[in-house]
Amino acid sequence: MMTITATAEENPFSRPFDTPHGTAPFNEIKITHYEPAFGKAMAEHQAEIDRITTNTVAPTFDNTIAAMEHSGEMLNRVSSVFFNLLGSESNDEMMEISQRLSPKLSEHSNNINLNEALFTRVKAVYDARHTSGLTPEQIRLTEKYYEGFENSGATLSAEGKEKYRALSMELSKATLNFGQNNLRETNAYEMLLTNEADLAGLPASVTDAAAAKAKAKGREGWLIDLSAPSYIGFMKYSTRRDLRQKLYMAYNTKGVSGGDYDNRELVRQIVNLRLEIANLLGYASYSDYVLKNRMAKNATGVFGLLDRLATAFGLVARDEVRSVAAFATEMEGKQVDLQPWDWSFYADKLKDDRYGVNDEMTRPYFELEHVKRGVFGLATSLYGLQFVPNPNIQVYHPEVEAFDVLDEEGKFLSVLYTDFHPRDGKRSGAWMSSFKSQYIQDGIDSRPHITIVMNFTRPTATKPALLTFDEVETFLHEFGHALHGMLSRSTYETLSGTSVYRDFVELPSHIMENWLTEKEYLDRFAFHYETGEKMPDTLLQKIIDASNYNAGYLTLRQLSFGYLDMAWHSLTEPYSGDVRDFEQEAMARVQLLPVVPDACMSTSFGHIFSGGYAAGYYSYKWAEVMDADAFSLFKENGIFDRATADSFRRNILERGNTEEPIELYKRFRGREASVEALLKRSGVN
């Protein structure tokens, strides 16, 4: 294995990594390296900025915009490693470091964004952008830098700048605390079962995993926690309604039960700080501030989509809930007052009764290694990509695998890291990120290092990792984001890969999910893990037939999150009331199941309170309209049609943020997206 050579005094972040493809030398990095590296990196970055501002030559694209674009190399190096690992391989010491770093990084960012001399130079290039011979991509980059300064208070008075500086630092700390509270409370909860009667209804896949989890922690019995495979499996299969309720309440009262991890005050603090920043910059609400640089453009555009989908799917969703409630009553032989902790259980039983298919029937055909070949193989069919394991690339955990991604001619395109299973220190959910983004400098195309992180079912002592249908779908989703990063061909890192509008970034991920209900695709990798036999045609057809099961319910559930996000970020006055009351009112229009007074989603809604989706959660539905419309072209031309795939790659995946997304989409599709394809795919049209 190639490793960097460093003396005892050297910090591995102090210079470019001497490793395969310049990947992070995880074996060499110690926790004690981070803070000194950040300190040195910020100082170096500030010195580079000072050289730009003190340049006596008139501002040009090269000496101002490009110089800024290529500055902060060491800071990018240490930040990408630290913050990726803070989500996927964290511990108390990492969290404490992040608390100390947060105000320093905010101050460093503000020192740049509020630098009057720097903004003066940027504005000069911006004002002359159409008359100074710049390429379209250079114009786009200049505009993004100018908008970034404008959005960060550069046009404010001296007093306003100081106010912005204080508010942004406070907001950074609050969002960090929110996420860490959520992770700690999630990791702290355990439901240890010691009586076999408590396992009633659970399949072997759930009990084996629970036993392995207990054993790993030196406990006797079966351990259920709030990680996705554990929580979802128990809620779907357990016949013990009392335990389902107990687990549901643990999951849905995170951050709202008092104690050290209560996030209610942080929710109020975050939305009020965002509102104050928006007001300071001249906007009535935070959503107004955010949406001006989105495809939706404003709150009217967002609510127009949410309301249209709520109307289109509302009757269907309520019929679905009535069907599940009636089935529950019939199944139990008595009236069942359907509660949220009952939904997964009875909905799954009705699906099995109606279509003859459930996760335990399909799991044996979704063994992780087969699924990896299927997912990677789709990229091979569409784009000619090859995925070659590279054991010489260091990884941050033994379960992580690294691949060289090559094009059809064997030319290197990207590094891809895969991290599939839950563990302490990894936050919940699934995501794609990058340790290094793509860019071109001095004629050299510097290729990206992409990571996809999931929380999938673990292997047990007797079985390999057998995934649920939803887990396979999640894999495809995150892999779509990865393709967006890996195939990027932009000149500038700021515009490359997934650095696009939030309501456009989900298109490459959503579209990948469509193949999973295509028989021609499933036939390629859905083999029984023991016998090697293909999934029977009858089972394949059942999966396809059931693909729209409860589509209305799932749509309204997603819309409820979008309405909640927009409610918090459309406030025009500071909020000091009860978080749960606010949430219940925001979601009322699309509420399908009884409200549980003590439950609260906002206090664990990391996407909007500690992630990047504030005033942007609607993006999932916005992108769903586009992905259904885009995939309809594949359906017309053939789901593996290379010409269609090449067009999607050339016009969407490679282009990043180099043009307005609507123009990129129209170039691929020949027109704007229509909602009709989504309605047709969902069976409501």
SS3 helix, strand, coil % of the chain, rounded to 5? 60, 5, 35
- Would you tell me the crossing angle of helices 136-151 and 116-127 to the nearest 10 degrees? 140
Contact call for residues 509 and 480 (beta carbons, < 8 A):
yes
Distance CA 48, CA 115 (A): 13
Q: How many residues does the chain have?
A: 685
Pairing outcome for strands 412-419 and 449-453: parallel
3-state secondary structure 166-198: HHHHHHHHHHHHHHHHHHHHHHHCCEEECCHHH
Amino acid found at 252: N
Contact call for residues 463 and 511 (beta carbons, < 8 A):
no
Contact call for residues 299 and 570 (beta carbons, < 8 A):
yes
Contact call for residues 636 and 320 (beta carbons, < 8 A):
no
Distance CA 602, CA 263 (A): 9
Which residues partner with 193 through β-bridges?
222
Distance CA 387, CA 406 (A): 7
Cβ burial, residue 133 (10 Å; 0-12/13-18/19+) = exposed
Which helix or strand (DSSP H or E) is residue 130 part of? Answer: none
Q: Which two tokens stand for residue 261?
A: 């991890």
Residue by residue, DSSP assigns 399-466 as T-EEEEEE-TTS-EEEEEEEE-S--TTS-SS-EEEEEE--EEETTEEE--EEEEE--PPPP-SSS--B
Distance CA 186, CA 427 (A): 8
Q: Which two tokens stand for residue 630?
A: 């885009």
CA dist 332 to 237, 239, 326, 335, 549, Å?
15, 11, 10, 8, 22
For 675, other C-beta atoms within 10 Å of its C-beta total 18
What letter would DSSP give residue 226?
S
Catalytic residue list contains 190: no
Residue with tokens 């999910």: 513
Amino acid found at 23: T
Catalytic residue among 28, 471, 478, 583: 478
Distance CA 375, CA 512 (A): 9
Q: Which two tokens stand for residue 252?
A: 């849905």
Contact call for residues 465 and 368 (beta carbons, < 8 A):
yes
Distance CA 268, CA 470 (A): 33
Distance CA 396, CA 425 (A): 12
Secondary structure (3-state) at 527: strand
Distance CA 593, CA 591 (A): 6
Amino acid found at 324: V
Catalytic residues: 478
